[in-house]
Amino acid sequence: MFAFFMPGPIELIIMMLVPAAALAVVVLVVALTRSRKASDDNPNLTPCPDCGRFVSLHATTCPQCGRPLQTQP
């Protein structure tokens, strides 16, 4: 009769998967928000046409590849 109260393998797997799934969701949300902030939350930055590095709109040349940048009016 005591075996009726013991958790089976399915219950053990669920108990291990639920926290792992929750942690995976948190990591995904954090990664998505960080990747968006890199480009969208910096209105003073523009990607370099050559190397893709985010450069200030006031910069005349790209600090990474040295490409001359056209300043927007």
Binding site for Zn ion (CB under 5 A): 48, 50-51, 62, 64-65, 67
CA 70 to chain centre: 30
Least separation in angstroms between residue 49's CB and Zn ion is 8
Least separation in angstroms between residue 54's CB and Zn ion is 10
Least separation in angstroms between residue 63's CB and Zn ion is 8
CB of 38 or CB of 65, closer to Zn ion: 65
Tell me the sheet residues that pair with 56: 45
CA 61 to chain centre: 28
